[in-house]
């Protein structure tokens, strides 16, 4: 059954990566960027998000369910590919390989990140600037979070490229090349936003 | 009478030899092993003429008598695809692999994406099954004379001709990271063939059937866009453009199927 409908599962996987997950990640990184304006500013923004109406519904339907499907199906896909960058060291083959590496790393990173923040909140800890500053007082965690952010922005930007190809929007070699440059800009911009926010906590 | 028996015998270079490392496998189930061969050099040899030399005198580099190496070949001019193998790590046709252009020792391996029959000989039947699955033909039979088909615009014919150069050689499957034992992916060549036959004005009358085949198990969706196929294709077929074109066509087809449409074939 799963195999017969693989076409639809794969299209859903591609779509969910951008809408809603990609949009959520972008939004998340931008909200984090309030940290560069100080603890006060970040806490206000975080509390605004926390107090959105229908927050549980939004969490489950915009984040958890799409993210879990994308993550678990993605891990299956990553482990069914037989990477061969040694034989074909082309740009696209490396992107294909890195998309899978970053994907698997992100499953680990995001699981840890959710445990440290959302699940701790469930146990009564308050999610605020001090919480992140505390987590990032450990140099190992700074590296781990920086890698997590770069992996996420790469996976999103390259995923945007493959989304546009998978749905048939970028068809010719030239259009695919142009999309490569556009997504490279997306990667750089989101990485700068993400890392600036990260180092604001340090 | 001299030793020369043919009018075009290539001059030999006394003492000069070519070294081959060939991955051998005696039966489909047995374990592969490497065997080296050292054969006399002749000008303008290709891998096939070297394999023929080994077949003529099956003695390995250690001087031991061995079995002749098995391989597949047919046209000898890179249009049939039968002689594909992995040469120095890259899948390609052995007929156009010229010894003078290869680094020695020349390493020959079978394309392991396919079941190995013996030595360098593989079974590509799966590819022909895929062509049946996607209906890679144009049905012209009817209960009466259907007459001439619609004309094809010349400029369309020109790019469609490029797609028709596919010789089912299997190199794109060997290059693709997603064609392996854990997937059923039929490979880039089949997707490009759907584009070819759906482009043909008469073939387009069944285009929804071919797209439906691409939308099932092992079809288009298994492509992960590593784009190795377009790099590897010996005929320079724009496989990734074909894949993206079929991605677009199946996107439209998906909505037609879901909502119902009077435009299944136009």
Q: What is the pLDDT of residues B194-213, one digit of tens each?
A: 999 999 999 999 999 999 99
In chain B, the percentage of residues whose pLDDT exceeds 90 is 88
pLDDT of residue B6: 57
Residues B111 and B182 in one domain: no
The number of residues in chain B equals 266
The string of pLDDT tens digits covering residues B91-143 is 999 999 999 999 999 999 999 999 999 999 999 999 999 999 999 999 888 89
What is the average per-residue pLDDT within A82-104?
96
Instruction: Indicate the number of domains in chain B.
Output: 2
Report the pLDDT averaged over residues B4-17: 68
Is residue B48 included in any domain, yes or no?
A: yes
CB distance A103 to A75 below 8 Å: yes
Judgement on whether residues B117 and B129 belong to the same structural domain of the protein: no
Under the banding of pLDDT at 50, 70 and 90, the label for residue B3 is low
- Mean pLDDT calculated for residue range B144-155: 90
One domain, residues B164 and B250: yes
Give the bridge partners for B42, in sequence order: B12
Residues B131, B213 contacting (CB under 8 angstroms): no
B-facing residues of A in 69-98 (CB < 8 A) are: 77, 79-84, 87-88, 90, 92-93, 95-97
- Which distant-in-sequence residues (6+ apart) come within 8 Å of B233 by Cβ? B171, B172, B239
Q: In whole angstroms, give the CA distance from residue A151 to residue B213.
A: 35
Average pLDDT over residues B159-179: 97
Q: Which of residues 65-84 of B touch A (CB under 8 A)?
A: none
Q: Are both B156 and B108 inside the same structural domain?
A: no
pLDDT at B148: 87
Q: In the listed set B81, B99, B122, which residue is the last one of a domain according to the structure? A: B122
Residue B157 sits in the same domain as residue B252: yes
Nearest in space to B55 (alpha carbons), one of B34, B70, B75, B42: B70
| pLDDT at residue B11 in the model | 65
- Residue that is last in its domain, among B87, B103, B122: B122
Average pLDDT, integer, range A86-108? 97
Q: Taking residues A88-110, what's their average pLDDT?
A: 97
Would you say residue B12 has pLDDT above 80? no
Q: Do B248 and A165 touch (CB under 8 A)?
A: no
Same domain, B101 and B35: yes
Tell me: pLDDT of B1 over 50. no
Q: Is B164 on the interface with A (CB under 8 A)?
A: no
Q: Say if residue B10's pLDDT is above 70.
A: no
CATH number at residue B39: 3.10.20.30
Q: What is the mean pLDDT of residues B175-192?
A: 96
Whether B99 and B197 share a structural domain: no
pLDDT at A178: 98
Q: How far apart are CA B194 and CA B206, in angstroms?
A: 11
pLDDT of A154-201, one tens digit each? 999 999 999 999 999 999 999 999 999 999 999 999 999 999 999 999
Same domain, B99 and B138: no
What was the pLDDT predicted at A161? 98
Among B74, B93, B122, give the residue marking a domain's end. Answer: B122
Q: Which of residues 166-195 of B touch A (CB under 8 A)?
A: 175, 177-178, 180, 182-184
Q: Which residue of B has its CA nearest to A175?
A: B241
Domain match, B250 and B199 both: yes
Mean local confidence (pLDDT), A97-112? 97
Question: Who contacts B108 (Cβ-Cβ below 8 Å, separation ≥6)?
Answer: B20, B21, B22, B23, B47, B85, B86, B87, B94, B120
Q: Is the pLDDT of residue B58 over 70?
A: yes
Domains and CATH numbers, chain A: 6-200 (1.20.1300.10)
Q: Tell me the whole-structure pTM to 2 decimals.
A: 0.93
Eight-state DSSP code of residue B28: S
> In B, which residues are within 8 Å of A166 by CB distance?
225, 247
Chain B (10-49) residues lying within 8 Å, Cβ to Cβ, of chain A: none
Q: Where are the beta strands (DSSP E) in chain B?
A: 12-24, 33-42, 84-87, 90-93, 106-109, 116-118, 121-122
Q: Which residue has the tokens 């999610």?
A: A127
Residue B146: band (very low, low, confident or very high) from pLDDT cuts 50, 70, 90: confident
Q: Please tell me the distance from the alpha carbon of residue A15 to that of residue A17, in angstroms, as a whole number.
A: 5
Alpha-carbon distances, residue A46 vs A49, A105, A132, A135 (angstroms): 5, 26, 12, 17
Buried b (16+ CB within 10 A) or exposed e, B155-177: eeeeebebbbebbbbbbbbbbbb
CB contact under 8 A, B248 and A166: no
Q: Do A173 and B221 touch (CB under 8 A)?
A: no
**Is the Cβ pair A168, B247 closer than 8 Å?**
yes
B37/B65 same-domain check: yes
Which segments of chain A does DSSP mark as H helices, in order?
Answer: 6-16, 23-32, 39-50, 55-58, 65-80, 91-114, 120-122, 129-135, 139-166, 173-200
pLDDT for A2: 66
pLDDT at residue B4 in the model: 54
Q: Domain limits at B207? A: 125-259
**SS3 of residue A126 by DSSP:** coil
When pLDDT is averaged across residues A32-42 and rounded to a whole number, the result is 96
Q: How far apart are CA A79 and CA A75, in angstroms?
A: 6
Statement: residue B69 has pLDDT above 90:
yes
Look-up: residue for tokens 């288009």? B220
């Amino acid at each position: 059954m799963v195999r017969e409908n693989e076409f639809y599962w794969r299209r859903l996987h591609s779509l969910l990566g951008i809408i809603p997950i990609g949009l959520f990640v972008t939004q998340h990184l931008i909200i984090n960027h309030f940290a560069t304006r100080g603890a006060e500013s970040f806490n206000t923004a975080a509390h605004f998000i926390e107090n959105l109406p229908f927050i549980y519904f939004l969490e489950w339907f915009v984040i958890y369910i799409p993210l879990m499907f994308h993550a678990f199906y993605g891990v299956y896909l990553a482990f069914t590919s037989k990477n061969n960058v040694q034989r074909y060291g082309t740009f696209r083959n490396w992107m294909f390989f890195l998309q899978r590496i970053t994907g698997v790393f992100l499953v680990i990173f995001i699981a840890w990140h959710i445990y440290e923040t959302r699940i701790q909140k469930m146990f009564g800890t308050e999610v605020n600037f001090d919480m992140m500053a505390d987590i990032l007082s450990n140099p190992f965690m700074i590296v781990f979070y920086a890698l997590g952010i770069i992996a996420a922005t790469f996976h999103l930007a390259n995923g945007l490229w493959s989304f546009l190809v998978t749905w048939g929007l970028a068809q010719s070699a030239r259009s695919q090349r142009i999309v490569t440059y556009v997504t490279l800009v997306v990667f750089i911009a989101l990485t700068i936003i993400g890392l600036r926010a990260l180092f604001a906590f340090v | 009478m001299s030793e020369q028996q043919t009018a075009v015998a290539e001059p030999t270079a006394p003492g000069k030899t070519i070294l081959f490392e060939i991955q051998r496998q005696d039966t489909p189930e047995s374990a592969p092993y490497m065997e080296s061969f050292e054969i006399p050099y002749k000008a303008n040899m290709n891998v096939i003429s070297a394999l023929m030399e080994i077949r003529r005198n099956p003695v390995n580099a250690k001087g031991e008598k061995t079995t002749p190496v098995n391989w597949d070949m047919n046209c000898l001019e890179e249009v049939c695809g039968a002689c594909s193998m992995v040469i120095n790590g890259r899948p390609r046709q052995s007929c156009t692999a010229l010894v003078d252009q290869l680094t020695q020792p020349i390493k020959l391996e079978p394309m392991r994406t396919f079941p190995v029959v013996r030595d360098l000989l593989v079974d590509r039947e799966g590819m022909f099954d895929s062509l049946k699955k996607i209906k890679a033909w144009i049905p012209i039979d009817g209960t009466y004379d259907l007459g001439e088909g619609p004309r094809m615009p010349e400029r369309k014919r020109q790019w469609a001709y490029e797609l028709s150069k596919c010789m089912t050689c299997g190199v794109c499957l060997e290059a693709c990271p997603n064609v392996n034992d854990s997937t059923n992916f039929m490979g880039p060549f089949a997707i490009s063939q759907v584009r070819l036959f759906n482009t043909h004005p008469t073939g387009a009358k069944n285009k929804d059937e071919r797209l439906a085949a691409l939308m099932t198990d092992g079809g288009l969706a298994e492509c992960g866009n590593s784009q190795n196929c377009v790099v590897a294709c010996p005929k320079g077929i724009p496989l990734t453009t074909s894949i993206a074109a079929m991605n677009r066509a199946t996107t439209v087809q998906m909505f037609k199927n879901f909502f119902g449409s009077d435009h299944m074939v136009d």
